Amino acid sequence: MAVTVRRAAPADRDALAAMLTRAFDDDPVTTWFFPDAERRAARAEAFFRRVVLAGPYGRAGDVYTTDGLGSAAIWLPPGRWRLSVPDQLRLLPAILRIVPVRSLPSRLAGFNQIEARHPHDPPHWYLSTLGTDPDQQGHGLGSALLADQLRRCDADALPAYLESSKARNVPFYERHGFVVREIVELPDGPRLWLMWRDPHEPDGAGDGVTAPG
């Protein structure tokens, strides 16, 4: 069954923030970032809406979704993955409202550790976020979003990079050509698998994805 991939619109942000909150509810980084289980969903939804989708990642990157908003991916183009100092300062008030103050130092240290491990060269696309609503998982939505962008990476001979926060997702990304480069431990937190994909020779084979031109 074909999956239609399209760019997300500003009007989709609230629904996508709610969807990503459900998608990352059991994610180790989410539970580490928001340790209070009773407030986690509200804080995570505010984070996805204000920081991820409407913040510098959403503005700098390409946000794609599927029909029905069951899945979403944010891809940052080459050279745009690092947050600038002005962006960090603009985000600080929102972060302070969302992240518990007592947790903030270790969470910022974890963010800095992730950025420090991010490869600088060669130029590459960065998959900062990929999430699928739990009710929609297993229907190929995440694969469709990956394949859509990876075709463009291959056509432009550009690599791709991501961090996986779940061991069980590593084989999924490996099926799309990613390989584990490094495994890191966040401060008092979970493990991350840093994965890289070199561009492939386009084979012209269809994969059941319908995307806008």
Please tell me the distance from the alpha carbon of residue 195 to that of residue 198, in angstroms, as a whole number: 10
- Predicted local confidence at residue 207, as pLDDT: 44
Token representation of residue 67:
């029909």
- pLDDT digit of tens for each residue in the chain (213 aa)? 689 999 999 899 999 999 999 999 999 988 888 888 888 899 889 889 877 887 656 665 689 999 999 999 999 999 877 666 666 666 666 666 666 677 777 777 877 788 888 998 999 999 999 999 999 999 999 999 999 999 999 999 999 999 999 999 999 999 999 999 999 998 788 899 999 999 998 665 444 443 333
Dihedral angle, C-alpha 2, 6, 12, 15, nearest 10 °: 30
**Is residue 29 classed as helix, strand or coil in its secondary structure?**
helix
- Predicted local confidence at residue 51, as pLDDT: 76
Q: Are 196 and 202 in contact (CB under 8 A)?
A: no
The secondary structure of the chain in percent helix, strand, coil, rounded to multiples of 5, reads: 45, 20, 30
- Domain ranges in the chain are 3-210
- Predicted local confidence at residue 6, as pLDDT: 94
- Predicted local confidence at residue 176, as pLDDT: 97
For domain 3-210, the CATH architecture is: 3-Layer(aba) Sandwich (3.40)
- Predicted local confidence at residue 58, as pLDDT: 64
> Which burial class, exposed, middle or buried, applies to 171 when counting CB atoms under 10 A from its CB (0-12, 13-18, 19+)?
exposed
